[in-house]
Amino acid sequence: MAINVYLDESGDLGWKFSAPFRKGGSSRYMTIAFVICPSEKKHFLKRIVSKVYTRIEAAPSTEVKGSSLNLSDKEFVAKQTVNLLQKHPDIKIVYITVQKENVELHIQSDKNLIYNYMMRLALLKEVDQFPVINLIRDNKSVKIKSGNTLINYLQTELYFSHGSSAKLVDIPSDSKAVQNLVFIDWINNLIWGHYEDKNSSPYNILRTHIHSNQLFFR
């Protein structure tokens, strides 16, 4: 059985903390979120996207980013997602957030290093039992120089560190054409907003139903 993993990230991999975020400085947090969904159930994620588009009267041809949703709409997304996760426990949402100001300087010098490590730490233990893992990501937003570098690293970790025979399939996609990437963008935005902007009400609706990982928190 193949499992689909849709991923998105919020925040940046810059390290300028001498100025506020959005005013010349870097984000203080970065979050990578995943929705892990059996391939035969991927349409349930699309249903939530359709409901939100109807709610906000958005044209189906447009791409609505999580950053453009207001607080009420984000709370609606969170409540719809909780209902989905309760009805389908084989659909999981996992995320990892790094508090960047606590990352050692020698690690900051290699952006691929921290990104790849976050991916390995949060994702592989959740999917290593599946024979095929479809990693579906927005080809415009993954913050690494080479998608192949990441995939090769994760595949090696699956084989040697996890003792798994799972085959990892990289599927870079256009988020405008894949509604489930819109869904995980919304989820990731409301999780990251809890850390970066202290907009916590949507996250608090979800928090006991999703799996969290924190890196370099003190």
- Which CATH number does the domain housing residue 127 bear? 3.30.420.10
- Taking 60 as the threshold, does the pLDDT of residue 54 lie above it? yes
pTM, full prediction = 0.96
Number of domains in the chain: 1
Q: Give how far Cα 185 sits from Cα of 41, 111, 128, Å.
A: 18, 21, 24
CA quadruple 80, 200, 116, 94: dihedral sign? negative
Interval 179-202: pLDDT, tens: 999 999 999 999 999 999 999 999
Burial class (CB in 10 A: 0-12, 13-18, 19+), 77: buried
- Taking 80 as the threshold, does the pLDDT of residue 209 lie above it? yes
Is residue 117 classed as helix, strand or coil in its secondary structure? helix
Domain range spanning residue 61? 2-215
Closest CA to 138 of 74, 186, 91, 185: 185
Distance between CA 46 and CA 40 in Å, rounded? 12
- Taking 90 as the threshold, does the pLDDT of residue 117 lie above it? yes
